[in-house]
Chain A
Amino acid sequence: DAKTTQPPSMDCAEGRAANLPCNHSTISGNEYVYWYRQIHSQGPQYIIHGLKNNETNEMASLIITEDRKSSTLILPHATLRDTAVYYCIVKLPHTGNQFYFGTGTSLTVIP
């Protein structure tokens, strides 16, 4: 599975959009991009995933570049409850289904 690179930390003002980048330059054609977040002392929470096209759900939007070497998770209107560590994971959908977590981005939403 491809490795990912994320900035270690980011700040975002409450009510503004939070844009979290992820580089996955070694991604292969069949690998999906998954985003999870972990609020302090809780289990990770699934946010969104995608293969090629941009995706949107009730939580966030996922923008994947045309060459698929990077992606951006967008929280359109960040709230204080969005303060968490955000993990970008790239993997094949069927390879044992294991997720290998990187270091993630610690997002702090500021009032």
Chain B
Amino acid sequence: GAVVSQHPSWVICKSGTSVKIECRSLDFQATTMFWYRQFPKQSLMLMATSNEGSKATYEQGVEKDKFLINHASLTLSTLTVTSAHPEDSSFYICSARDPLAGVSYEQYFGPGTRLTVT
């Protein structure tokens, strides 16, 4: 199946700093990517939909000024957690859909990025 990568795989930062997470589709072009957040022992929560060349669409309750999303190319979307606080510590996962994968639109997920804010 299609491959989606994330970088870094884990990051530790100090409270008040900003952290950028990259999501790349390695063998296909993704016009749409998605960002999820997962707290320990909980399910994935969709944060936002990242559209190439346009503004991201955020889910209700997700602060767009805190979680900046940029989808500058068909293979790269970035999530920047601004002014991070300990409560932002979580597992961040991106996904992308291969537009050539057919009508059923399954998505491929990255390996996730573990963010720890101290």
Contact = CB atoms under 8 A, between A and B. Distances in A.
A39 to B, nearest CB: 10
Nearest to B45: A101
B49 interface: yes
Contacts of A43: 4, 6, 93, 95, 109-112
A97 B43 contact: no
A36 B97 CA distance: 14
B interface, how many residues as a size bin? 20 to 34
Contact of B107 (A51, A97, A102): A97
A94 B103 CA distance: 8
Q: Interface on chain A toward B: helix, strand, loop, or mixed SS?
A: loop
Interface in B1-54: 1, 4, 6, 32, 34, 36, 43-46, 49
A44 B93 contact: yes
27 contacts: A34-B106, A36-B109, A38-B44, A41-B91, A41-B112, A41-B114, A42-B111, A42-B112, A43-B4, A43-B6, A43-B95, A43-B109, A43-B111, A44-B93, A44-B109, A46-B109, A49-B104, A87-B43, A94-B105, A96-B32, A96-B57, A97-B34, A97-B105, A99-B34, A100-B46, A101-B44, A101-B45
